Amino acid sequence: KIFLEDLGIRNAVLADFKGLNLRQDLGSMLENFVLNELDKNKNVLAKINFWRTVSKQEVDFIYQTPDEIIPIEVKCRVFKEAKIPSGLKSFIKYYSPKKAIVVTQDFLSIGKFKNTKIHFIPAWLV
């Protein structure tokens, strides 16, 4: 995946300035936005990576400091309940982080899987 620091440049390259509600690439834009915010606000010792298995299970971002690891999954869809993405479940089974984050369009909730607290947060809270 390729991410740009400036989403305006991304839109200019794609020649696509439609409103967000008309965009086919809203998921990609949201992922890019979340990465930019993570990078802008990260701890000096933090690293941001992604995670993928051979069987294609993945988590969009792994925010790692010397003290903790936080998987972050970006889902640009409407949630009605706290449904945990399968890639995030796989990561939690393997690494057992204390918390995880799912960024959604507009859903706010807290769930739990195994011993991991999962925060579902709307994109506007990022």
Which of the two residues, 23 and 88, has the higher pLDDT score? 88
Alpha helices (runs of H) in 3-126, residue ranges in sequence order: 7-14, 26-41, 86-95
The CATH architecture one would assign to domain 7-125 is 3-Layer(aba) Sandwich (3.40)
Q: Tell me how far apart the alpha carbons of residues 100 and 93 are, in angstroms, rounded to a whole number.
A: 12
What pLDDT score was predicted for residue 28?
A: 86
pTM for the whole structure: 0.89
Instruction: Give the strand order in the sheet containing 109-113.
Output: 47-52, 58-64, 69-74, 99-104, 116-122, 109-113
Note the pLDDT of residue 37: 94
Classify 23 as helix, strand or coil. Answer: coil
Residue spans per domain, the chain: 7-125
